[in-house]
Chain A
Amino acid sequence: GESVGLHLPTLSVQEGDNSIINCAYSNSASDYFIWYKQESGKGPQFIIDIRSNMDKRQGQRVTVLLNKTVKHLSLQIAATQPGDSAVYFCAEKNSGGYQKVTFGTGTKLQVIP
């Protein structure tokens, strides 16, 4: 069956350093991979997505890398700030007719001031 999982449950990073959050997936048929950020008491917030025919995509301070050979996804956050502290979920979606997003269990990012 399909699954999306994360390597580390908690990541502590010094403010100003770069953060890398990793994710493994098992469904080779996934068309899209998405990173969400969830702060305490809030719903998940879309950060960035990447199609399966790409291996890298950049946003504002964030970069997502996709390695389909080893079914690995990562989110890089440059110059991590205290406001980046949250739980980060990788998720996958097929390009089917409906908006089912399959989430992993999440990585908690703690930014040390």
Chain B
Amino acid sequence: AQSVAQPEDQVNVAEGNPLTVKCTYSVSGNPYLFWYVQYPNRGLQFLLKYITGDNLVKGSYGFEAEFNKSQTSFHLKKPSALVSDSALYFCAVREGSGTYKYIFGTGTRLKVLA
């Protein structure tokens, strides 16, 4: 069965330091992977996606993600964290090549400390 895991409920990082939010997946076939961000009491906003191509994907607001097929991971990264990056981050995977259903992780709360 397809699945996605975010092993950390919360990540704390100091402002200006690099940040990493982890995601691992399990799918049959080629993975379609996504990162979304949610601010309090708001809907999700798309950050970036990996469908095919370069393993390093660049997205919105200076975020990037590294696809690693051997480790089945798709970690979200940013070189220098901002306090305004504090939010809930979701990794998602498309359930299969023949469907447009998506499985979301449980979310990781990022807290950037001033």
Asked if A pairs with B, the answer is no
B residues near A (Cβ < 8 Å) are: none
A residues near B (Cβ < 8 Å) are: none
